[in-house]
Structure 1
Amino acid sequence: MQTIGLVGGMSWESSAVYYRDLNLGVQERLGGLSSPKLVLSTVDFAEVTDLEDAERWQQIGELLAEAGRGVERAGADFLLLCTTTFHKVADQVEAAVGIPLVHLADVVSKACIDQGVTKVGFIGTKVAMEDRFFIDRLAGQGVEAIVPAQEHHEWLNAAIYEELVHGHVLPRTRRRVVEIVEELWDAGAGGVLLGCTELELLIKQPDVELPVFPCTSLHVEAALDRALS
Protein backbone atom coordinates (compact mmCIF):
# COMPACT_ATOMS: atom_id res chain seq x y z
CA MET A 1 0.00 0.00 0.00
CA GLN A 2 1.32 3.43 -0.94
CA THR A 3 1.21 6.32 1.51
CA ILE A 4 -1.32 9.02 0.64
CA GLY A 5 -0.23 12.61 1.26
CA LEU A 6 -2.87 15.21 2.08
CA VAL A 7 -2.61 18.98 2.34
CA GLY A 8 -5.71 20.11 4.18
CA GLY A 9 -7.17 22.69 6.52
CA MET A 10 -9.19 24.41 3.76
CA SER A 11 -11.50 23.94 5.75
CA TRP A 12 -11.09 21.40 8.55
CA GLU A 13 -14.56 20.11 7.58
CA SER A 14 -13.11 19.24 4.20
CA SER A 15 -10.06 17.53 5.71
CA ALA A 16 -12.30 15.49 8.01
CA VAL A 17 -14.30 14.22 5.04
CA TYR A 18 -11.13 13.17 3.21
CA TYR A 19 -9.77 11.39 6.29
CA ARG A 20 -13.05 9.64 7.06
CA ASP A 21 -13.77 8.53 3.50
CA LEU A 22 -10.23 7.27 2.86
CA ASN A 23 -10.52 5.11 5.98
CA LEU A 24 -13.99 3.87 5.09
CA GLY A 25 -12.84 3.15 1.55
CA VAL A 26 -9.88 1.01 2.63
CA GLN A 27 -12.03 -0.87 5.11
CA GLU A 28 -14.61 -1.54 2.41
CA ARG A 29 -11.99 -2.72 -0.07
CA LEU A 30 -9.71 -4.73 2.23
CA GLY A 31 -11.87 -5.51 5.26
CA GLY A 32 -10.71 -6.48 8.73
CA LEU A 33 -8.72 -3.85 10.57
CA SER A 34 -7.23 -2.34 7.42
CA SER A 35 -6.72 1.41 7.27
CA PRO A 36 -4.85 3.68 4.84
CA LYS A 37 -1.30 4.90 5.28
CA LEU A 38 -1.70 8.68 5.42
CA VAL A 39 0.37 11.79 5.98
CA LEU A 40 -1.69 14.94 6.62
CA SER A 41 -0.51 18.52 6.91
CA THR A 42 -3.08 21.22 7.60
CA VAL A 43 -2.77 24.96 7.15
CA ASP A 44 -4.43 27.78 9.09
CA PHE A 45 -7.63 28.47 7.14
CA ALA A 46 -7.90 32.00 8.55
CA GLU A 47 -4.43 32.86 7.24
CA VAL A 48 -5.14 31.36 3.83
CA THR A 49 -8.51 33.08 3.43
CA ASP A 50 -7.02 36.43 4.49
CA LEU A 51 -4.42 36.01 1.76
CA GLU A 52 -7.16 35.00 -0.67
CA ASP A 53 -9.13 38.15 0.12
CA ALA A 54 -5.97 40.17 -0.52
CA GLU A 55 -5.39 38.22 -3.78
CA ARG A 56 -1.92 37.22 -2.59
CA TRP A 57 -1.93 33.95 -4.48
CA GLN A 58 1.83 33.65 -4.76
CA GLN A 59 2.05 33.57 -0.97
CA ILE A 60 -0.77 31.04 -0.75
CA GLY A 61 1.12 28.87 -3.21
CA GLU A 62 4.25 29.12 -1.07
CA LEU A 63 2.34 28.07 2.06
CA LEU A 64 0.75 25.07 0.36
CA ALA A 65 4.02 24.14 -1.35
CA GLU A 66 5.80 24.08 2.02
CA ALA A 67 3.01 21.89 3.41
CA GLY A 68 3.40 19.61 0.40
CA ARG A 69 7.15 19.34 0.93
CA GLY A 70 6.51 18.42 4.55
CA VAL A 71 4.13 15.67 3.51
CA GLU A 72 6.72 14.40 1.02
CA ARG A 73 9.45 14.40 3.67
CA ALA A 74 7.16 12.41 5.95
CA GLY A 75 6.99 9.59 3.40
CA ALA A 76 4.01 10.26 1.14
CA ASP A 77 4.15 8.60 -2.28
CA PHE A 78 1.72 11.05 -3.91
CA LEU A 79 -0.17 14.18 -2.95
CA LEU A 80 -3.75 15.46 -2.85
CA LEU A 81 -4.90 19.01 -2.11
CA CYS A 82 -8.05 18.69 0.01
CA THR A 83 -9.71 21.67 -1.66
CA THR A 84 -11.10 22.83 -4.98
CA THR A 85 -10.60 26.58 -4.68
CA PHE A 86 -6.92 26.38 -3.80
CA HIS A 87 -6.18 24.19 -6.80
CA LYS A 88 -5.61 27.66 -8.26
CA VAL A 89 -2.02 27.19 -7.04
CA ALA A 90 -1.79 23.46 -7.79
CA ASP A 91 0.87 23.96 -10.45
CA GLN A 92 3.03 25.88 -7.94
CA VAL A 93 2.65 23.10 -5.38
CA GLU A 94 3.34 20.37 -7.94
CA ALA A 95 6.52 22.11 -9.04
CA ALA A 96 7.75 22.24 -5.43
CA VAL A 97 7.54 18.51 -4.71
CA GLY A 98 9.10 15.41 -6.19
CA ILE A 99 6.01 13.21 -5.89
CA PRO A 100 2.97 13.16 -8.19
CA LEU A 101 0.04 15.46 -7.46
CA VAL A 102 -3.35 13.90 -8.22
CA HIS A 103 -5.16 16.90 -9.68
CA LEU A 104 -8.85 17.07 -8.82
CA ALA A 105 -9.92 18.42 -12.23
CA ASP A 106 -8.29 15.47 -14.00
CA VAL A 107 -10.11 13.01 -11.74
CA VAL A 108 -13.47 14.72 -12.19
CA SER A 109 -13.19 15.09 -15.96
CA LYS A 110 -12.47 11.36 -16.30
CA ALA A 111 -15.53 10.53 -14.21
CA CYS A 112 -17.70 12.76 -16.40
CA ILE A 113 -16.42 11.31 -19.65
CA ASP A 114 -16.78 7.76 -18.32
CA GLN A 115 -20.49 8.52 -17.83
CA GLY A 116 -20.81 10.15 -21.23
CA VAL A 117 -21.27 13.65 -19.81
CA THR A 118 -19.31 16.39 -21.57
CA LYS A 119 -21.20 19.49 -20.38
CA VAL A 120 -21.64 20.05 -16.67
CA GLY A 121 -22.74 22.69 -14.24
CA PHE A 122 -20.05 23.75 -11.80
CA ILE A 123 -20.89 25.11 -8.35
CA GLY A 124 -18.22 26.25 -5.92
CA THR A 125 -16.68 29.31 -4.32
CA LYS A 126 -16.67 32.64 -6.13
CA VAL A 127 -12.98 32.23 -7.00
CA ALA A 128 -13.47 28.73 -8.37
CA MET A 129 -16.45 29.77 -10.48
CA GLU A 130 -15.06 33.07 -11.80
CA ASP A 131 -11.38 32.29 -12.33
CA ARG A 132 -10.63 29.92 -15.20
CA PHE A 133 -8.04 27.66 -13.53
CA PHE A 134 -10.41 24.74 -12.87
CA ILE A 135 -12.78 25.24 -15.80
CA ASP A 136 -9.89 25.46 -18.28
CA ARG A 137 -8.33 22.28 -16.87
CA LEU A 138 -11.67 20.49 -17.38
CA ALA A 139 -11.90 21.86 -20.92
CA GLY A 140 -8.46 20.48 -21.67
CA GLN A 141 -9.84 17.03 -20.86
CA GLY A 142 -12.93 17.48 -23.05
CA VAL A 143 -15.47 18.61 -20.44
CA GLU A 144 -17.26 21.97 -20.78
CA ALA A 145 -18.27 23.55 -17.47
CA ILE A 146 -20.93 26.23 -17.08
CA VAL A 147 -21.41 28.19 -13.87
CA PRO A 148 -24.52 29.67 -12.25
CA ALA A 149 -25.70 33.14 -13.20
CA GLN A 150 -23.58 35.96 -11.76
CA GLU A 151 -26.36 36.93 -9.37
CA HIS A 152 -25.81 33.70 -7.42
CA HIS A 153 -22.05 33.91 -6.95
CA GLU A 154 -21.85 36.07 -3.84
CA TRP A 155 -24.66 34.14 -2.18
CA LEU A 156 -23.02 30.77 -2.88
CA ASN A 157 -19.69 32.03 -1.57
CA ALA A 158 -21.34 33.25 1.63
CA ALA A 159 -23.20 29.96 2.09
CA ILE A 160 -19.90 28.08 1.86
CA TYR A 161 -17.78 30.36 4.07
CA GLU A 162 -20.40 31.43 6.60
CA GLU A 163 -22.38 28.19 6.96
CA LEU A 164 -20.90 25.03 5.50
CA VAL A 165 -17.28 25.40 6.61
CA HIS A 166 -18.67 25.62 10.15
CA GLY A 167 -20.74 22.47 9.66
CA HIS A 168 -24.06 24.36 9.45
CA VAL A 169 -26.25 22.50 6.94
CA LEU A 170 -29.49 24.47 6.54
CA PRO A 171 -32.60 23.31 4.65
CA ARG A 172 -33.22 26.79 3.21
CA THR A 173 -29.71 26.79 1.73
CA ARG A 174 -30.26 23.34 0.26
CA ARG A 175 -33.50 24.48 -1.38
CA ARG A 176 -31.82 27.44 -3.06
CA VAL A 177 -28.86 25.38 -4.28
CA VAL A 178 -31.31 22.87 -5.78
CA GLU A 179 -32.99 25.76 -7.63
CA ILE A 180 -29.58 26.83 -8.97
CA VAL A 181 -28.88 23.27 -10.15
CA GLU A 182 -32.21 23.30 -11.98
CA GLU A 183 -31.20 26.55 -13.73
CA LEU A 184 -27.97 24.86 -14.87
CA TRP A 185 -30.01 21.95 -16.18
CA ASP A 186 -32.15 24.38 -18.18
CA ALA A 187 -28.89 25.86 -19.56
CA GLY A 188 -27.89 22.50 -20.98
CA ALA A 189 -25.85 20.85 -18.23
CA GLY A 190 -25.88 17.07 -18.28
CA GLY A 191 -24.57 16.79 -14.72
CA VAL A 192 -23.46 18.97 -11.84
CA LEU A 193 -20.05 19.18 -10.20
CA LEU A 194 -20.09 19.88 -6.49
CA GLY A 195 -16.87 21.86 -6.69
CA CYS A 196 -16.40 22.35 -2.98
CA THR A 197 -16.09 19.60 -0.38
CA GLU A 198 -18.51 21.32 1.96
CA LEU A 199 -21.24 21.32 -0.72
CA GLU A 200 -21.27 17.53 -0.43
CA LEU A 201 -22.53 17.99 3.12
CA LEU A 202 -25.53 19.81 1.64
CA ILE A 203 -26.44 18.17 -1.67
CA LYS A 204 -26.88 14.45 -2.32
CA GLN A 205 -28.01 12.65 -5.48
CA PRO A 206 -31.63 12.24 -4.26
CA ASP A 207 -31.90 16.04 -3.94
CA VAL A 208 -31.58 16.71 -7.70
CA GLU A 209 -32.44 15.01 -10.98
CA LEU A 210 -29.15 15.77 -12.74
CA PRO A 211 -26.30 13.30 -12.19
CA VAL A 212 -24.18 14.59 -9.31
CA PHE A 213 -20.38 14.43 -9.50
CA PRO A 214 -19.14 14.87 -5.91
CA CYS A 215 -15.57 16.06 -6.41
CA THR A 216 -14.26 14.97 -3.01
CA SER A 217 -15.69 11.48 -3.24
CA LEU A 218 -14.18 11.06 -6.70
CA HIS A 219 -10.82 12.37 -5.47
CA VAL A 220 -10.87 9.88 -2.61
CA GLU A 221 -11.65 6.98 -4.92
CA ALA A 222 -8.80 7.96 -7.23
CA ALA A 223 -6.41 8.12 -4.28
CA LEU A 224 -7.50 4.67 -3.11
CA ASP A 225 -7.09 3.23 -6.60
CA ARG A 226 -3.55 4.57 -6.72
CA ALA A 227 -2.58 3.60 -3.18
CA LEU A 228 -3.89 0.05 -3.48
CA SER A 229 -2.87 -0.68 -7.07
Structure 2
Amino acid sequence: MRKLGIIGGASWSSTVLYYEQINRAVAARLGGLHSARLVIESLDFESDYAAYHRSGDWAGADRVIAGAAERLKAAGAEGLLLASNTMHKNAEAAQQASGLALVDIRQATADRLQAEGRTRVALLGTRFTMTEAWAREHYEKRGIAVCELLPEWRAEVDRIIYEELAAGRVVRDSQRKLKTLITELQKQKVQAIVLGCTELVMAVDVRANVLPVYDTTAIHARAAVEWMLEEAEEARAAA
Protein backbone atom coordinates (compact mmCIF):
# COMPACT_ATOMS: atom_id res chain seq x y z
CA MET A 1 0.00 0.00 0.00
CA ARG A 2 1.31 3.43 -0.92
CA LYS A 3 1.57 6.02 1.85
CA LEU A 4 -0.58 9.09 1.27
CA GLY A 5 0.17 12.54 2.64
CA ILE A 6 -2.86 14.68 3.47
CA ILE A 7 -2.87 18.44 4.00
CA GLY A 8 -5.93 18.97 6.17
CA GLY A 9 -7.36 21.33 8.72
CA ALA A 10 -9.08 23.47 6.10
CA SER A 11 -11.26 22.70 7.85
CA TRP A 12 -10.74 20.03 10.51
CA SER A 13 -14.43 19.03 10.14
CA SER A 14 -13.98 17.77 6.59
CA THR A 15 -10.54 16.29 7.37
CA VAL A 16 -12.30 13.99 9.85
CA LEU A 17 -14.55 12.79 7.01
CA TYR A 18 -11.52 12.01 4.84
CA TYR A 19 -9.78 10.06 7.59
CA GLU A 20 -12.84 7.95 8.32
CA GLN A 21 -13.84 7.32 4.71
CA ILE A 22 -10.35 6.40 3.53
CA ASN A 23 -9.79 4.01 6.42
CA ARG A 24 -13.21 2.38 6.06
CA ALA A 25 -12.64 1.82 2.34
CA VAL A 26 -9.17 0.33 2.86
CA ALA A 27 -10.54 -1.99 5.54
CA ALA A 28 -13.40 -3.06 3.26
CA ARG A 29 -11.04 -3.75 0.35
CA LEU A 30 -8.28 -5.57 2.28
CA GLY A 31 -10.20 -7.08 5.21
CA GLY A 32 -8.76 -8.13 8.52
CA LEU A 33 -7.24 -5.33 10.58
CA HIS A 34 -6.00 -3.31 7.61
CA SER A 35 -6.07 0.49 7.75
CA ALA A 36 -4.70 3.29 5.60
CA ARG A 37 -1.04 4.36 5.61
CA LEU A 38 -1.43 8.12 6.08
CA VAL A 39 0.64 11.13 7.09
CA ILE A 40 -1.43 14.22 7.95
CA GLU A 41 -0.28 17.83 8.11
CA SER A 42 -3.20 19.64 9.76
CA LEU A 43 -3.24 23.41 9.40
CA ASP A 44 -4.51 26.02 11.83
CA PHE A 45 -7.20 27.13 9.39
CA GLU A 46 -7.52 30.64 10.86
CA SER A 47 -3.85 31.63 10.86
CA ASP A 48 -2.33 29.30 8.27
CA TYR A 49 -4.87 29.61 5.47
CA ALA A 50 -8.10 31.61 5.91
CA ALA A 51 -6.10 34.74 6.73
CA TYR A 52 -4.60 34.61 3.24
CA HIS A 53 -8.08 34.29 1.72
CA ARG A 54 -9.21 37.47 3.44
CA SER A 55 -6.15 39.45 2.40
CA GLY A 56 -5.95 38.04 -1.12
CA ASP A 57 -2.36 36.97 -0.46
CA TRP A 58 -2.35 33.82 -2.56
CA ALA A 59 1.44 33.83 -2.84
CA GLY A 60 1.51 33.54 0.95
CA ALA A 61 -0.99 30.68 0.81
CA ASP A 62 1.18 28.97 -1.82
CA ARG A 63 4.14 29.12 0.57
CA VAL A 64 2.13 27.59 3.41
CA ILE A 65 0.81 24.71 1.29
CA ALA A 66 4.15 24.12 -0.42
CA GLY A 67 5.87 23.93 2.97
CA ALA A 68 3.28 21.45 4.22
CA ALA A 69 3.77 19.29 1.12
CA GLU A 70 7.54 19.27 1.62
CA ARG A 71 7.13 18.15 5.24
CA LEU A 72 4.82 15.33 4.17
CA LYS A 73 7.36 14.11 1.65
CA ALA A 74 10.07 14.21 4.33
CA ALA A 75 7.75 12.09 6.52
CA GLY A 76 7.58 9.40 3.85
CA ALA A 77 4.51 10.33 1.83
CA GLU A 78 4.52 8.95 -1.71
CA GLY A 79 1.52 10.96 -2.91
CA LEU A 80 -0.42 14.06 -1.90
CA LEU A 81 -4.06 14.86 -1.16
CA LEU A 82 -5.31 18.39 -0.45
CA ALA A 83 -8.37 17.91 1.76
CA SER A 84 -10.13 21.03 0.47
CA ASN A 85 -11.49 22.16 -2.88
CA THR A 86 -10.27 25.74 -2.43
CA MET A 87 -6.80 24.50 -1.51
CA HIS A 88 -6.48 23.16 -5.07
CA LYS A 89 -5.82 26.78 -6.03
CA ASN A 90 -2.42 26.04 -4.45
CA ALA A 91 -2.04 22.58 -6.01
CA GLU A 92 0.66 23.55 -8.49
CA ALA A 93 2.81 25.11 -5.76
CA ALA A 94 2.46 21.98 -3.62
CA GLN A 95 3.44 19.66 -6.45
CA GLN A 96 6.39 21.77 -7.55
CA ALA A 97 7.75 21.99 -4.01
CA SER A 98 7.37 18.31 -3.15
CA GLY A 99 7.47 16.44 -6.46
CA LEU A 100 4.64 14.26 -5.15
CA ALA A 101 1.84 12.90 -7.32
CA LEU A 102 -1.45 14.67 -6.57
CA VAL A 103 -4.79 12.91 -6.11
CA ASP A 104 -6.82 15.79 -7.57
CA ILE A 105 -10.38 16.43 -6.36
CA ARG A 106 -11.28 18.24 -9.59
CA GLN A 107 -10.04 15.43 -11.78
CA ALA A 108 -11.78 12.73 -9.76
CA THR A 109 -15.08 14.61 -9.78
CA ALA A 110 -14.90 15.45 -13.49
CA ASP A 111 -14.21 11.78 -14.24
CA ARG A 112 -17.33 10.78 -12.33
CA LEU A 113 -19.54 13.42 -13.94
CA GLN A 114 -18.36 12.48 -17.43
CA ALA A 115 -18.85 8.76 -16.78
CA GLU A 116 -22.43 9.44 -15.71
CA GLY A 117 -23.22 11.69 -18.68
CA ARG A 118 -23.63 15.01 -16.86
CA THR A 119 -23.20 17.99 -19.17
CA ARG A 120 -24.62 20.90 -17.13
CA VAL A 121 -23.88 21.27 -13.42
CA ALA A 122 -23.87 23.84 -10.65
CA LEU A 123 -20.69 24.12 -8.61
CA LEU A 124 -21.23 25.18 -4.99
CA GLY A 125 -18.27 26.19 -2.86
CA THR A 126 -16.30 29.16 -1.64
CA ARG A 127 -16.43 32.29 -3.76
CA PHE A 128 -13.06 31.34 -5.23
CA THR A 129 -14.17 27.85 -6.25
CA MET A 130 -17.44 29.09 -7.75
CA THR A 131 -15.90 31.80 -9.93
CA GLU A 132 -12.25 31.11 -10.77
CA ALA A 133 -10.85 29.19 -13.73
CA TRP A 134 -8.61 26.81 -11.72
CA ALA A 135 -11.77 25.20 -10.27
CA ARG A 136 -14.08 25.30 -13.30
CA GLU A 137 -11.75 24.39 -16.15
CA HIS A 138 -11.44 20.71 -15.23
CA TYR A 139 -15.17 20.36 -15.83
CA GLU A 140 -15.39 22.62 -18.85
CA LYS A 141 -12.54 20.79 -20.62
CA ARG A 142 -14.77 17.69 -20.51
CA GLY A 143 -17.66 19.52 -22.11
CA ILE A 144 -19.43 19.98 -18.78
CA ALA A 145 -21.00 23.44 -18.54
CA VAL A 146 -20.88 25.10 -15.11
CA CYS A 147 -24.01 27.13 -14.43
CA GLU A 148 -23.50 30.64 -13.03
CA LEU A 149 -25.09 31.36 -9.67
CA LEU A 150 -26.65 34.73 -8.92
CA PRO A 151 -24.24 36.97 -6.93
CA GLU A 152 -26.47 36.91 -3.86
CA TRP A 153 -26.49 33.11 -3.84
CA ARG A 154 -22.70 32.97 -4.26
CA ALA A 155 -22.32 35.30 -1.29
CA GLU A 156 -24.67 33.23 0.86
CA VAL A 157 -23.02 29.89 0.07
CA ASP A 158 -19.61 31.42 0.81
CA ARG A 159 -20.91 32.82 4.11
CA ILE A 160 -22.35 29.47 5.19
CA ILE A 161 -19.01 27.78 4.53
CA TYR A 162 -16.76 30.28 6.30
CA GLU A 163 -19.01 31.35 9.17
CA GLU A 164 -20.66 28.02 9.98
CA LEU A 165 -19.43 24.80 8.40
CA ALA A 166 -15.70 25.52 8.65
CA ALA A 167 -16.27 26.01 12.39
CA GLY A 168 -18.10 22.67 12.60
CA ARG A 169 -21.57 24.28 12.96
CA VAL A 170 -24.58 23.07 10.96
CA VAL A 171 -27.41 25.62 11.08
CA ARG A 172 -30.92 24.46 10.20
CA ASP A 173 -31.83 27.72 8.45
CA SER A 174 -28.78 27.40 6.20
CA GLN A 175 -29.72 23.83 5.35
CA ARG A 176 -33.13 25.11 4.22
CA LYS A 177 -31.49 27.84 2.13
CA LEU A 178 -29.25 25.36 0.36
CA LYS A 179 -32.23 23.12 -0.37
CA THR A 180 -34.06 26.14 -1.83
CA LEU A 181 -31.05 26.96 -3.99
CA ILE A 182 -30.91 23.43 -5.38
CA THR A 183 -34.64 23.58 -6.20
CA GLU A 184 -34.10 26.88 -8.06
CA LEU A 185 -31.18 25.40 -9.99
CA GLN A 186 -33.37 22.53 -11.14
CA LYS A 187 -35.61 25.10 -12.84
CA GLN A 188 -32.54 26.34 -14.76
CA LYS A 189 -32.12 22.87 -16.35
CA VAL A 190 -29.10 22.02 -14.23
CA GLN A 191 -28.55 18.24 -14.29
CA ALA A 192 -26.58 17.85 -11.06
CA ILE A 193 -25.11 19.69 -8.09
CA VAL A 194 -21.39 19.46 -7.31
CA LEU A 195 -20.61 20.11 -3.65
CA GLY A 196 -17.34 21.86 -4.45
CA CYS A 197 -16.48 22.43 -0.80
CA THR A 198 -15.58 19.50 1.40
CA GLU A 199 -17.75 20.82 4.28
CA LEU A 200 -20.97 21.25 2.30
CA VAL A 201 -21.94 17.59 2.69
CA MET A 202 -22.49 18.40 6.38
CA ALA A 203 -25.43 20.64 5.39
CA VAL A 204 -26.74 19.03 2.18
CA ASP A 205 -28.41 15.60 2.15
CA VAL A 206 -26.96 13.97 -0.97
CA ARG A 207 -29.82 11.42 -1.08
CA ALA A 208 -32.84 13.69 -0.58
CA ASN A 209 -32.81 16.44 -3.16
CA VAL A 210 -34.56 17.21 -6.42
CA LEU A 211 -31.26 16.85 -8.32
CA PRO A 212 -28.39 14.34 -8.10
CA VAL A 213 -25.80 15.68 -5.67
CA TYR A 214 -22.10 14.85 -6.07
CA ASP A 215 -20.18 14.84 -2.78
CA THR A 216 -16.61 15.76 -3.74
CA THR A 217 -15.29 14.65 -0.34
CA ALA A 218 -16.53 11.09 -0.86
CA ILE A 219 -15.43 11.04 -4.52
CA HIS A 220 -11.97 12.30 -3.56
CA ALA A 221 -11.60 9.80 -0.71
CA ARG A 222 -12.46 6.92 -3.06
CA ALA A 223 -9.93 8.17 -5.61
CA ALA A 224 -7.31 8.29 -2.86
CA VAL A 225 -7.96 4.67 -1.92
CA GLU A 226 -7.71 3.60 -5.57
CA TRP A 227 -4.31 5.30 -5.79
CA MET A 228 -3.08 3.84 -2.50
CA LEU A 229 -4.00 0.26 -3.40
CA GLU A 230 -3.26 0.35 -7.13
CA GLU A 231 0.24 -1.14 -7.02
CA ALA A 232 -0.60 -3.80 -4.45
CA GLU A 233 -3.64 -4.98 -6.37
CA GLU A 234 -1.74 -5.05 -9.66
CA ALA A 235 0.98 -7.17 -7.99
CA ARG A 236 -1.61 -9.61 -6.62
CA ALA A 237 -3.26 -9.89 -10.03
CA ALA A 238 0.07 -10.65 -11.69
CA ALA A 239 1.09 -13.28 -9.10
Structure 2 length-normalised TM: 0.92
Alpha-carbon distance in structure 2 between the residues aligned to 1:66 and 1:143: 34
- Indicate the residue corresponding to 1:109 in structure 2: 110
Residues 182 and 210, structure 2, Cα contact 8 Å, conserved in 1: no
**1:124/1:172 CA distance change after superposition, 3 Å:** same
What residue identity is the alignment partner of 1:76?
A: A
- Indicate the residue corresponding to 2:22 in structure 1: 22
**169-178 or 139-148, which moves further after superposition?**
139-148
- Identity value in percent: 31
**62-71 or 124-133, which moves further after superposition?**
124-133
Query: Would you say 1:142 and 2:147 are equivalent positions?
Result: no
- 1:129-184 CA distance string (max 9 Å, x none): 12221012221233221242111122111111111112221222111101111222
- Indicate the residue corresponding to 1:121 in structure 2: 122
Match of 2:199, SS state, is helix
**Pairwise CA RMSD:** 1.2
CA drift of 1:17 comes to 1.1
Match of 1:157, SS state, is helix
Structure 2: gaps spanning 5 or more residues: 231-239
Which runs of at least 4 in structure 1 moved beyond 4 Å after TM superposition?
A: none
Alpha-carbon distance in structure 1 between the residues aligned to 2:81 and 2:193: 22
Structure 1: gaps spanning 5 or more residues: none
- Indicate the residue corresponding to 1:78 in structure 2: 79
Residues 6 and 41, structure 2, Cα contact 8 Å, conserved in 1: yes
- Indicate the residue corresponding to 2:166 in structure 1: 165
CA drift of 1:216 comes to 0.7
- 1:26-74 CA distance string (max 9 Å, x none): 1222222110000111122112111111100011011101101111111
Alpha-carbon distance in structure 2 between the residues aligned to 1:167 and 1:28: 28
Structure 1 length-normalised TM: 0.96
What residue identity is the alignment partner of 2:78?
A: D
* Count of residue correspondences: 229
CA drift of 1:193 comes to 0.3
What residue identity is the alignment partner of 1:46?
A: E
- Indicate the residue corresponding to 2:69 in structure 1: 68
Residues 8 and 15, structure 1, Cα contact 8 Å, conserved in 2: yes
Alpha-carbon distance in structure 1 between the residues aligned to 2:148 and 2:162: 18
- Indicate the residue corresponding to 2:2 in structure 1: 2
CA drift of 1:190 comes to 0.9
- Indicate the residue corresponding to 1:133 in structure 2: 134
Alpha-carbon distance in structure 2 between the residues aligned to 1:70 and 1:141: 34
- Indicate the residue corresponding to 2:175 in structure 1: 174
Q: Is the radius of gyration larger for structure 1 or structure 2?
A: 2
